[in-house]
Amino acid sequence: MKRIENEKLGETLYRDTLKNGLTLLVLPKKGFAKTYAVIATNFGSVDTMLPDGARVPDGIAHFLEHKMFEGETEGAFERYARTGANANAFTSFDKTAYLFACTEQLEQNVAILLDLIQHPYFTEENVKKEMGIIGQEIRMYDDDPSWRCLFGLLSGIYHNNYVKLDIAGTVESISKITPDWLNRCYRSFYHPSNMAFCMVGDCDPEAVRDMVERYLVDMPDCPVARSYPEEPVSVVNHEVSAKLAVSAPQFLIGFKDNDPVFSGMEFVKKQAVSEICLAMLGGAGAPCGEGLYRDGLIPAPLEMEYLAGRRFGVCMLGGESHDPAKVRDTILRAAQQLATAPHAELFERSKRSCYGDSLRRFNQVERLANDAVEWAFLEASVFDPVTVYDQITLEDVSKRLQSHFIPAGCVLSVIEPAAEEETK
Amino acid sequence: MKSITLLPDVQLTAVQTEQFKTDLLCVSFCWELSSETNTQTALLSRVLKGCGGSLGNREALNRRLSELYGAELFGYVQKKGDVQVMGLGLQTVANQYALAGENLQQESMSLLLDVLLAPLSKGFDPAIVSLEKENLKKAIESLLNDKKTYGVMRCTEFMFAGQRYALSEFGDLSKVDAITPQALLDCWQKLLRIGRIELFYMGRASFEQVAEPLKKSFSALRREPVAAEAVSKAVARDAVQTVPEQMEVAQCKLTMGLTTGITGNEDQFPALMVANAVFGGGPTSKLFMNVREKLSLCYYAASRLEKHKGIMMVYAGVEQDKLEPAIQEIEKQLKSTQAGEISDEEFLAAKKLLTHALRATADSPTQTLDFLLGEALCHTGRSIPDLIEAIMRVTPQQAVDAIAVTRIDTIHILQPEEVAQ
């Protein structure tokens, strides 16, 4: 096993590639009550094509995630209930993850996790039943203003990139799903060389490696073929809106990332630079964001995120405002100003702030393990986002502001309050 | 963990640990939830930060916080039974990660104390009070955005109409405008004088390093603490009340408020926790396995206890034409639990769910604080190991006995339009 120590952070990462191709990561952490394990496959809602060219029903990666918990005699939740683990799963744009946190019986829980991932069980009956449940999950998200605002933004930004598809699909698209479709997706994407396992907590790396090798035996490997649609530089629509029962307009301002690098150290640096730019615009103490608050345009600080993954990236600033367009215009002006007249003091402060944020991610076993797996898929290490700050200069940030935070790539997504009569 | 009474009704709990990359210090103030002060109390959590202590304003405070490696200063308000809690917290990167040898722990503690106490000599800037009043109003209005928590809030309002617990910890929209800077300062002075103060620290500093500056600052205050009782058991209603509320939602949000007859300070409470876990906690509970898995009626259906009032809340997101079947199934599963239809597996799963969650609390500073505060306000002095032990000792019969008198009080339904009942 490879041992990567970061003395400044006080963390050590153990990494190995098993014979079957699985990437194994372990971060021992003393003193934590929970031990957390996650196994993820590099397959998410953006993966809409099978290697044979067939187009999958929208939402199938998420549907498959739900069904992996079924078993012939009993489901995984019933098994975890006996060993006392808190288990769950999630599907994102570019990966599907199965996980648990436990405070006892670690090996038994690892056995359950690796059993469920190797032995799918789909029947007509259990697939039909899930349609009702996921249908309700979709409806729940239909009422979620943040979720709707985000997908409004993505539909405004992307012409063809499948990141704009709702991760759970629609009630209509999931009605097309059959056991056969689920099997085909499973066989196309659930292969060890397309997967990563990470454990974080009070554990012994060698023992973990032995455990995983012993339990992960029924997963044949094969290369995964992917295809991505062409995506133009332009956005679809600079302004997108929808109506929901909210008290005041909720908005997201997004900047389309047309730079093609989304993996490796170059991407780690791009992410850190993007986050510093966002902090310089809307972070604590940033003149632009503070001005918006002081002038009563935003009742709370802007929330910012560089949402990025496999071949997509959007720098976002969001919140509530009675005049979202004015917020957008203010931010565009501030970005242009900062790009042409670099503000060294603001840059240093924002860099420090982002560095502090990167440290926080090591506080929780769940977040750290999920990050480790994500960075493995993006061909970097979970330490890189912390150590990269040493390399970032004011010039990097000015360049990014100039090329990325510009009107041409800017989309405003707004959720407007539904009219009075509708909410009575 | 070390917990001492620093001063009368000023409790300090400090956990020295190297687990986290950050240190957390929280100062919480507790007093009676009252219609005269709940709005001002909520406003205080915003105005204190907005004034920025000696730094004079929010922007200057935020500049300082970003220099401190993005330290996060946050305000919070909570309702625990009939007590309102207001506090400020500061999470800072630990000293060893500072790039220029700064003593972040000391600086951040001074900063937090300054933000809290400087207004006593400076007063509150009227422009800042004015701005934060507007922001508070918007925050109260925006409570309807999250449909699930809005449903819980409304169910509570109807369940406790006319009683203290119906009051919102975020304040009353209609009372915000009337608050003057002087009235707000008077409120702050009063809270500092009579409220219970809970100090909480979790990080790398030693107990003495934390206790000394805190004791110094708080002993300078003139204190006349008035005990506020959080525990106030809800009395069962004669007949179930159903309250439909119209809102343009894709999915109906069902919230049920139930009285249990047992509060957190009572011996039977651990047994009630187990019974509640069997009924509606986690993916092997009766609610999850039946309302969701078997009948596919929903994506989420769960139950949660509120220990200071001795109540239980059940919530589910359901399609409009499935409301009746969902309500019936929830009632059926409650009766089943009360009838002792609990398998060995269900019982074991419930205990494991609870003990895991309790052990996991130590991994989260904010969850640890919330647990401590909740227990302090219940006067139990119970630690997490104590509670785990009590849960492990619960027998199936004790769990059944504990949930025996639980009954539905109020059903709240958020729905797009009237449905013929």
Instruction: Give the DSSP per-residue string, B319-356.
Output: -GGGHHHHHHHHHHHHHHHHTT---HHHHHHHHHHHHH
- What pLDDT score was predicted for residue A423? 46
Average pLDDT over residues B35-41: 98
Distances (CA, A) of B196 to B373, B375, B379, B383: 11, 14, 13, 20
Residue by residue, DSSP assigns A310-347 as: TTEEEEEEEEE-S-HHHHHHHHHHHHHHHHHS--HHHH
Token pair in block for residue A8: 């400044």
Token pair in block for residue B228: 């506020």
Strand order of the β-sheet with B10-16 is B2-7, B10-16, B196-203, B22-32, B83-93, B72-80
* Residue A132 touches partner B, C-beta closer than 8 Å: yes
Candidates B192, B246, B269, B199; CA nearest to B223 is B192
Q: How far apart are CA B217 and CA B210, in angstroms?
A: 12
Measured N-to-C along each axis, helices B384-393 and B269-280 cross at an angle, to the nearest 10 degrees, of: 70
Between chains, do B359 and A103 touch, taking CB under 8 Å as contact?
yes
* Residue A349 touches partner B, C-beta closer than 8 Å: yes
- What pLDDT score was predicted for residue A143? 94
Grade residue B421 by pLDDT with cuts at 50, 70 and 90.
Answer: low
Phi and psi at residue B27, in whole multiples of 5°? -120, 115
pLDDT higher for A30 or B88?
A: B88
pLDDT above 50: residue B271: yes
Task: Give me the residues of B, 61-120, that contact A with CB < 8 A.
Answer: 62-71, 91, 93, 96-97, 99
- What is the tens place of the pLDDT at every residue in B116-163? 999 999 999 999 999 999 999 999 999 999 999 999 999 999 999 999
pLDDT above 90: residue B419: no
Q: What is the DSSP letter of B372?
A: H
Handedness of CA A273, A16, A91, A235 (dihedral sign): positive
Task: Give me the residues of B, 306-345, that contact A with CB < 8 A.
Answer: 317-319, 345
Distances (CA, A) of B130 to A137, A294, A295: 41, 11, 12
Q: Whole-number mean pLDDT of chain A?
A: 96
- What is the tens place of the pLDDT at every residue in A295-345? 999 999 999 999 999 999 999 999 999 999 999 999 999 999 999 998 999
A10: left (phi over 0), alpha (psi -120 to 50) or beta: left
Q: Closest Cα of chain B to A66: distance in Å?
A: 11
Token pair in block for residue B130: 């004015």
Grade residue A224 by pLDDT with cuts at 50, 70 and 90.
Answer: confident
Residues in chain B, how many?
421
Percent of all residues in chain B with a pLDDT value above 70, rounded to a whole number: 99
Q: How far apart are CA B88 and CA A392, in angstroms?
A: 33
Mode of pairing for the β-strands spanning A195-201 and A23-28: parallel
Q: In chain A, which residues have their Cβ closer than 8 Å to the Cβ of B62?
A: 284-285, 290
Percent of all residues in chain A with a pLDDT value above 90, rounded to a whole number: 95
Distances (CA, A) of A26 to A19, A37, A202, A359: 17, 9, 10, 18
Q: How far apart are CA A167 and CA A46, in angstroms?
A: 8
- What pLDDT score was predicted for residue B111? 97
Rounded (5°) CA angle A98-A99-A100: 150
C-beta neighbour count of A131 within 10 angstroms:
16
Nearby residues of A257 by Cβ (< 8 Å), 6 or more positions away: A274, A308, A312, A313, A314, A315, A404, A409
End-to-end CA distance of chain B: 54
Could you tell me which chain B residue has the CA closest to the CA of A386?
B97
> Which H/E stretch holds residue A103?
none
Maximum pairwise Cα distance, chain B: 69
Cα A173 vs. chain centroid, distance in angstroms?
Answer: 22
Task: Please report the ipTM that was assigned to this predicted complex.
Answer: 0.95
- What pLDDT score was predicted for residue A223? 81
Grade residue A422 by pLDDT with cuts at 50, 70 and 90.
Answer: very low
Question: Where are the extended beta strands (E) located within A218-348?
Answer: 239-244, 250-256, 303-309, 312-320
Q: How far apart are CA B109 and CA A120, in angstroms?
A: 53
Number of residue pairs across A and B with CB atoms under 8 Å?
Answer: 189
Task: Clarify whether A65 is annotated catalytic.
Answer: yes
Give the burial string for B251-284 (b: 16+ CB within 10 Å, else e): bbbbbbbbbbbbbbbbebbbbbbbbbbbbbbbbb
Between chains, do A299 and B297 touch, taking CB under 8 Å as contact?
no
Grade residue A208 by pLDDT with cuts at 50, 70 and 90.
Answer: very high
List beta partners, residue B76. Answer: B87
Average pLDDT over residues B223-245: 96
Q: How far apart are CA B184 and CA A274, in angstroms?
A: 41
Token pair in block for residue B361: 């609390």
Q: How far apart are CA A183 and CA A196, in angstroms?
A: 20
Task: Give me the residues of A, 302-331, that contact B with CB < 8 A.
Answer: 320
pLDDT above 70: residue A424: no
Between chains, do A134 and B139 touch, taking CB under 8 Å as contact?
no
User: How big is chain B by its Cα radius of gyration, in Å?
Assistant: 23
Between chains, do A246 and B293 touch, taking CB under 8 Å as contact?
no
Measured N-to-C along each axis, helices B396-403 and B344-360 cross at an angle, to the nearest 10 degrees, of: 80
- What pLDDT score was predicted for residue B418? 65
**Candidate list A7, A11, A65, A366, residue with the active-site label:** A65
List beta partners, residue A307. Answer: A314
Between chains, do A134 and B299 touch, taking CB under 8 Å as contact?
yes
Mutate to test the interface with B, among A80, A100, A247, A386 (most CBs of B within 10 A): A247
